């Protein structure tokens, strides 16, 4: 089970608030206490929760990718696995995740973008296969979804 701020607070002998201040680089704890808290967090293997981070920053820490292709063909395309692996590697370096949608039916691509935008599920999308006068550009502008 993941180490929580409560676990760090108990092990360091401080309040959860003090742990939060220390871990987020905020004032409110002395340098000595901050150092002790950071060391305890490291020793326990604490890692920040992206869900909690997202709640406090109004970010999803996720990017969407809508692929308008037959899902049966994706596994046979030698480019696609390497493409996804590259995206995942880069996103992980920035504590982001990938939300992938495969759209095959007519209108499914637009519905997928609307679903990604709904409720802030993603902070933006990766747009591929961009065409001249691509209708997705207007849709993404309408949805206020960065690409």
Q: Can you give the CATH number for the domain in which 107 is found?
A: 3.40.50.2300
User: Kindly report the CA angle at 145 between 139 and 147, in degrees rounded to 5?
Assistant: 90
Say yes or no: 126 and 73 in one domain.
yes
Residue 142, C-beta contacts closer than 8 angstroms, at least 6 positions apart? none
Domain assignment of residue 55, yes or no: no
Say yes or no: 21 and 83 in one domain.
no
Say yes or no: 26 and 69 in one domain.
no
pLDDT at 53: 57
Single out the residue of 75, 53, 73 nearest to residue 62, CA to CA.
53
Domain assignment of residue 53, yes or no: no
Find the domain containing 64 and state its range. 60-143
Say yes or no: 10 and 43 in one domain.
yes
Average pLDDT over residues 13-37: 86
**68 within 8 A of 82, measured Cβ to Cβ:** no
Say yes or no: 132 and 98 in one domain.
yes
Say yes or no: 42 and 64 in one domain.
no
Q: Convert the pLDDT of each residue in 92-131 to its tens digit.
A: 998 899 999 999 888 899 999 999 998 788 999 999 989 8
Say yes or no: 81 and 127 in one domain.
yes
Confidence of residue 56 (pLDDT cuts 50, 70, 90): low
Say yes or no: 136 and 98 in one domain.
yes
Say yes or no: 90 and 122 in one domain.
yes
Count CB-CB contacts under 10 A for residue 80.
Answer: 14
Rg (CA), the chain: 20
Domain assignment of residue 52, yes or no: no
Indicate whether 2 pLDDT > 90.
no
Say yes or no: 93 and 33 in one domain.
no
Strand partners, 126: 65
Q: Is the pTM of this model over 0.75?
A: no
CA dihedral 125, 131, 132, 135 (to 10 degrees): -50
Q: Name the domain count of the chain.
A: 2
d(CA 146, CA 124): 5
Confidence of residue 49 (pLDDT cuts 50, 70, 90): low
Say yes or no: 81 and 122 in one domain.
yes
């Amino acid at each position: 089970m993941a180490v929580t701020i409560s676990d760090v607070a108990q092990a360091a002998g401080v309040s959860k608030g003090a742990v939060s201040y220390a871990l987020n680089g905020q004032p409110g704890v002395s340098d000595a206490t901050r150092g002790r808290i950071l060391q305890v967090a490291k020793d326990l293997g604490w890692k920040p929760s992206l869900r909690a981070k997202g709640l406090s920053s109004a970010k999803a820490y996720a990017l969407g990718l809508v692929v308008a292709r037959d899902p049966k063909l994706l596994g046979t395309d030698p480019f696609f696995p390497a493409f996804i692996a590259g995206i995942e590697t880069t996103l992980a370096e920035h504590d982001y995740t990938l939300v992938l949608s495969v759209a095959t039916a007519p209108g499914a691509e637009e519905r997928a973008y609307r679903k990604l935008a709904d409720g802030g599920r993603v902070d933006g999308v990766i747009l591929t296969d961009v065409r001249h006068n691509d209708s997705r550009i207007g849709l993404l502008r309408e949805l206020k979804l960065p690409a």
